[in-house]
Amino acid sequence: MRIGHVEIGGVRYPLTMSTRAMMQLEADGYNLNDLKGEAINVTFFVKMLHAMMVAGNRLEKRGGGNPPTVPAMDDLIDIIEPEEMEKITDQLMAVVDGDRNVEAIPPKK
């Protein structure tokens, strides 16, 4: 699973590129191939960001953490400042393009 963080409005949220996030994007009519070699459309970007924030929140809670509450989609649209878009895009894409964090199970003897 690809894991990272994004800072929006001074709050640090966990991000995860997970099956859940990809399913949400697919349900909204998008897929990760939409990112290949093109500028990200703002609607796709915000939906992807929100899906990854929700997945990151769930993962961190399952690990015993106490992540900040993910804003509702409408609130997220309102709190992202245009000046933050480039930084947020870099943080999001680092998770999408990053190495997977895989826990190996020891071989059976």
- Domain range list for the chain: 2-97
Each residue's pLDDT expressed in tens, for the chain with a length of 109 residues? 678 888 898 899 999 888 888 888 888 887 776 666 556 678 888 888 999 999 999 999 999 999 999 999 999 999 988 888 888 888 877 887 775 444 444 455 5
CA–CA dist 17, 51 (Å, integer): 8
Q: Give residue 72's pLDDT.
A: 95
pTM of the model: 0.76
